[in-house]
Chain A
Amino acid sequence: MKHLLTITIAFALSITAFGGCTTSSESSSSQTPQASPGKTAVERNDAKGDGAAAAKVTQIGADGLRQLLAVKRPLLINFWATWCEPCRDEFPDLVAIDRDYRSHGLEFITVSLDDAAEIERAVPQFLREMRATMPTYLLNVADPETAITAVDPEWSGALPATFLFDESGRIVYKHFGRINPAELRAAIERTLKR
């Protein structure tokens, strides 16, 4: 019995570590974007990674967001806005995570929920201040419900929100509110090791 218990715990922990347990949203293939092998990785703001290039922000709608969710995996997405204090607080940690994991195969994009008028003002200015090089998009939708559901039916729409998708398009980690960098890094490492 003792032997069986040890095997059981080891097995269960390995499943846990590799994301074998799913929430209802994660197990719903109709709601979760699927991997699209034909797509290429999104272009980086600054290929050199020194943050010196002008921060480019691309406007997208709900369809554009769906296409982004289908890019090369694993994929980390952070939803933020310049008016959101915890979003601004966590951004330096996100920039560091991008810098540390981009060469290990992590695709990282950020999506701003600022007003469309800020696409050439507050958003690129903030990205420059942060020396951020992740591809950044500004989501401009008439009805936010569709976009929120496309990402995660369990998301309330509160910012910031961070989602990590594995190579099969499943959400393996999500965090609403300011991230805990160590926790997010651990999730990324588990995902990249698969």
Chain B
Amino acid sequence: MRKKGAFALLLVALCGVAVAWQNSGAKMGGIKLGDRMPEAKLVDLNGRARSLGSLRGKNGTLLLFIATRCPVSNAYNARMAKIAEEYGARGIAVVGINSNVTEPADEVKRHATEHNLKFTILKDDGNKLADMLGAQVTPEAFLFDASGKLVYHGRIDNAQDEAKVQSHDLRDAIEAVLAGRPVAKAEARAFGCSIKRAS
């Protein structure tokens, strides 16, 4: 009986190794809907250390993984700026996160100025926050409600070309949070650039 147990355990362990190997490149894990926003300390574009907790909004917090060189992320610059402006006034803190090892802080700062991104942007050195959240792509949104629980994860909307947008997924989720309603569609994906991780 003990031998059978050892056999089963060994098989399960080897299967685990095999799955990890077969899914190479995939960063599984991260947080799930309902999980709390993790605490992390990152550096803003002025070199100042900021804790995520200190940036939380009264009515919710939106973390947006962005990039300077990704055409998909860049297609959303104006939409992201508008969301930050509109919902910042309604108590939703918008925080941009750049986790790409290929995009240094001075480039991120220059890009933000050029594209009028006025919300706080943090440089995620070593992609620690991206790993904690399981962020994979730019742009990618994580919306936390006022209590700090993840209520929406995924795309901003369904189309890079703003004229073709049919599904305003992130805006709908924010409106639900502000109205105290459950988010109807809590996850939605779109094609984008992979986050260029340090390791």
Contacts and interface: CB of A to CB of B under 8 A. Distances in A.
A85 B69 contact: yes
Interface string B1-26: 00100110011001111110011111
A66 to B, nearest CB: 17
19 contacts: A13-B14, A16-B18, A21-B14, A83-B71, A83-B72, A85-B69, A113-B191, A142-B158, A143-B166, A144-B155, A145-B188, A158-B136, A158-B191, A158-B193, A158-B194, A174-B22, A176-B194, A180-B24, A187-B22
B194 A22 contact: no
Interface string B182-199: 000000111111111000
Contacts of A143: 158, 166-167
A187 B136 CA distance: 23
A176 B14 contact: no
Interface in B20-60: 22-28
Contacts of A145: 158, 188-190
Q: How large is the interface on A (under 10, 10 to 19, 20 to 34, 35 or more residues)?
A: 35 or more
Contacts of B137: 156-158
Contacts of A5: 6, 10
A5 B2 CA distance: 12
B164 interface: yes
Given A158-B194, A176-B25, 15 more contacts: A11-B11, A12-B14, A16-B15, A19-B18, A20-B18, A83-B71, A142-B166, A143-B166, A145-B190, A148-B191, A157-B155, A157-B192, A173-B22, A176-B136, A180-B24
B19 A177 contact: no
B-side interface size class: 35 or more
Contacts of B25: 174-177, 179-180
B145 interface: no
A154 interface: yes
Interface in A140-194: 142-145, 148-149, 154-160, 172-177, 179-180, 183, 187
A22 B22 CA distance: 9
Contacts of A79: 191
Interface of A: 1, 4-5, 8-9, 11-13, 15-16, 19-23, 79, 81, 83-86, 113, 115, 142-145, 148-149, 154-160, 172-177, 179-180, 183, 187
B194 to A, nearest CB: 4
Given A8-B7, A156-B137, A144 B190 contact: yes
A15 B160 CA distance: 43
Nearest to A153: B189
A83 B194 CA distance: 12
A8 B189 CA distance: 41
A4 B7 CA distance: 8
B190 A23 contact: no
B102 to A, nearest CB: 8
Nearest to B188: A145
Given A143-B166, A172-B22, A174-B23, A8 B11 contact: yes
Contact of A86 (B17, B71, B194): B194
Given A115-B161, A158-B193, A23 B14 contact: no
Contacts of B15: 12, 15-16, 20-21
Contacts of A187: 22
A142 to B, nearest CB: 6
B162 to A, nearest CB: 13
